[in-house]
Amino acid sequence: MIECKKLPRKGGRRCLGSPQLILPEPRSFSQRGRFGKDEDGSSETTSEDEGGLWAYLQSEDLAASAAASAASASKAAKTRPRAREWAHEDDWDVSGFQAEVPEPALHFPFELDPRFQKRAVRRVERSEHVMVAAHTSAGKTAWSSEDSEVVAEYAVAHALRLGMRTIYTSPIKALSNQKFQEFTRRFEGLGSVGIVTGDVTVNPEASCVIMTTEILRSMLYRGDKGLNQVKWVIFDEVHYVNDADRGVVWEEVIILLPPEARMLQTAAEIIASPIS
């Protein structure tokens, strides 16, 4: 209980305890007379007694309010959902790959790497977001003597089988031009391939369109309706998201993508850092 004592100066009382407040005396006798009665039933009380009663009631209300707030905060803490796990390392046993992917969307003339290619292909088949971090020429997008790419090509084929589109983004125009040539040869007879950069536009309505990340951001800004048919968005060299000048482009694209679109992100190296 909070104890109230009269202040040395006139006009208020101090409540000792938690919290400490200066509570004013009631403003009128009619306001004070409502609260107390003498033993004979009369309502005549002294100003000092009624002032103390007023301060006491006010302090009791504050204590009850503080207790209710503490109880509400405790209940909220107990019902608060657990922190969500946004990403985890895939350690799936690849011995079940054949059973999981009995009819692959794309066949390769070599055995897929069990360390990451089989696991990534399985995730693509399950339409899950995937990030592949492997050293250069490891086959993030495909493998051959020309260092074409496996997981990205499989995502393109997966979208084609579903009758949907793929957008392949790269950080520089030269890389976009290179991938356009490679994908045109790889998917000849299977699907159309286009390219959109600041300098070149070829077949922009194709099943697979290669572009710089800035072009995709512009499409998202203007609400391009063609994005509604996109199954996969492939971010090559996604580590550019850490670039001090251009990283915001990748951040905005990831935020603005339609929720139905799946992301495949590839990079040579991802440096993990704690989130503060």
Q: Is the distance from CB of 194 to CB of 210 less than 8 angstroms?
A: yes
Confidence (pLDDT) at 258: 94
CA 106/CA 156 separation, integer angstroms: 9
Tally the C-alpha atoms within 13 A of residue 151's C-alpha that lie toward its C-beta.
33
User: Nearest Cα to 53, choosing from 67, 69, 38, 42?
Assistant: 38
Give the percent of the chain with pLDDT over 90.
Answer: 43
Cα dihedral 44/49/55/61 (nearest 10): -60
Alpha carbons 167 and 230: distance in angstroms, whole number: 7
Q: Domains in the chain, start-ordered, CATH in brackets?
A: 3-73 (no CATH), 94-267 (3.40.50.300)
Digit-coded pLDDT (tens) for 226-249: 899 999 999 998 988 988 999 999
Mean pLDDT (the chain) is 77
What is the pLDDT at residue 133? 82
Q: Kindly state the tokens that stand for 88.
A: 């985890």
Q: What is the largest CA-CA distance in the chain?
A: 108
The owner of tokens 């550019």 is 240
d(CA 86, CA 177): 33
What's the pLDDT at 136?
59
Compute φ and ψ for 100, nearest 5 degrees. -75, -35
Tally of CB atoms within 10 A around 146: 8
Distance CA 14, CA 23 (A): 7
Gyration radius of the chain over CA positions:
34
d(CA 106, CA 97): 14
